[in-house]
Amino acid sequence: MDTTVEGIGAVVVGELRAAGYLESTIGQYEKSIKALMSFVAGRGGFYTSSLGSEFASLTISPRTGRFSVQRKSDYRRLVALFDSYLVTRRVDLSMRTRGGGGPRPTSGEFNALVARWEADMAERVLAPATVGAYGRVARGYLVFLEARGITGLDGVDGASVLAFLESLTDRWAASSLFWVVSNFRPFLRFTGRADLVEAVGMAGVRRSHAILPVLGDDDQARVVHACSTGMVSSRDAAITLLALTTGVRACDLVGMRLADIDWRSQTIGIVQAKTHNPVTLPLPPLVTVTLAGYVLHDRPRSGDDHVFLRAKAPHTRLADHASVYRVTAEVFRTAGVTGVKAGTRLLRHSAASRMLRAAVPLPTISAVLGHADPESTNVYLSVDEDRLRECVLPLPAGVRP
């Protein structure tokens, strides 16, 4: 097997072209391959994983002398393809999610701990998004410990937990730290160290309960108009309308398969990725028509049976929730809806709010949204302004407003 950069590069480019990648994208890969060839020129020209790791770390642009996000992305993506070929003798073009991202610890004990933690999460069949969130904060804590000269759990105490959370305050809003703690606590329990679990509780991080954002009537009308009049692609329209009318999560849109659709009954039956609960979602007529238009006419030909595929080659399922966000954000932009964060979370809140305003009972809303705990649905009471006004008591006589 030819393991020179030139030889592997030729295989990579050939696979990219065979998969239908745009020539402009292939050109970007070729540019990175040329840079890698120059990097290894004085080292025999043969590619190794260690050389690839060094190359991927070259994130400073020689032209500007500054960190380059594009350079980092291009080089890491190329190295991943080269490494896959070196190990498996094939170029792995499958899309990678962000769940395993972020720095990793280097000590043997911490690496072994991470491996056991990831195996435990896999055994419990946690949702991919949950695995990613739990894994990132756990690895972040261990890397933080290594930076303080600690390479094993024997040297860890409760103060290190508090110091780690304190180190995050310059990057996380106080209202968001609750989610860090929520993702952190399961890992601390896994270590078997009760003192560390107690320490995270001492941090005093509390969940904020802001009133949930929802789409106003005018903005919703603009979004529906854009989706029903061809202003956006049928795929993007179907994704947005599904989220807007059923409140389905982004992870379930990504994982949805063609066999999940029952066209006769106009429903979609899925097992939710987050809760593992089965749920059957009704498809309103507009959603059914839009979805059928995409599946019958616009969906790329592919062996992948997921409903929503990438518009550009390789025509595989969408990568993750960020892909869905980009879709809904573009729909909102086209519809002229501004001033809101156009993700499925907003659409989910809006769907729940409208069901509540239509006097749909909370247990039914909970079932449609697929909540593991029916009490979770109570948070949507905060967006029912009409009923909240009915709860306001009149001022006593003689009291000035």
Percent of the chain with pLDDT over 90: 38
Tell me the average pLDDT across 207-211.
Answer: 56
How much is the pLDDT for 377?
55
How much is the pLDDT for 307?
95
Token pair for 312 = 């550009």
How much is the pLDDT for 172?
66
pLDDT beyond 50 at 99: no
How much is the pLDDT for 257?
95
Percent of the chain with pLDDT over 70: 85
pLDDT beyond 80 at 191: yes
* Contact in structure between 294 and 234 (CB atoms under 8 Å): yes
pLDDT range class, residue 395, cuts 50, 70, 90: low
Neighbours of 227 (CB within 10 A): 25
Q: Could you tell me which residues come within 8 angstroms of residue 4 by beta carbon, excluding any fewer than 6 positions away?
A: 45, 46, 47
In the block, residue with structure tokens 């992870």: 251
Token pair for 107 = 């000590």
How much is the pLDDT for 229?
94
pLDDT range class, residue 300, cuts 50, 70, 90: very high
Q: What angle do CA 230, 235, 239 make, to 5 degrees?
A: 105
Q: Could you tell me which residues come within 8 angstroms of residue 312 by beta carbon, excluding any fewer than 6 positions away?
A: 20, 21, 22
Options 1.10.3470, 1.20.120, 3.40.50, 1.10.150; CATH for 108-202 is 1.10.150
Bridge partners for 278 per DSSP: 271
pTM: 0.58
Number of H helices, E strands in the chain: 17, 3
Q: Could you tell me which residues come within 8 angstroms of residue 352 by beta carbon, excluding any fewer than 6 positions away?
A: 247, 365, 369, 377, 380, 383
For the chain, the 3-state helix, strand and coil shares in percent, each to the nearest 5, are: 60, 5, 35
In the block, residue with structure tokens 């990793």: 104
* Contact in structure between 236 and 331 (CB atoms under 8 Å): yes
Tell me the average pLDDT across 378-389.
Answer: 52
Cis peptide before 314 (omega within 30 of 0): yes
Spatial distance between the Cα atoms of 288 and 266, rounded to a whole number of angstroms: 7
210-240 pLDDT, tens per residue?
A: 556 778 889 999 999 999 999 999 999 999 9
Homologous superfamily assigned to 217-388: Intergrase catalytic core (1.10.443.10)
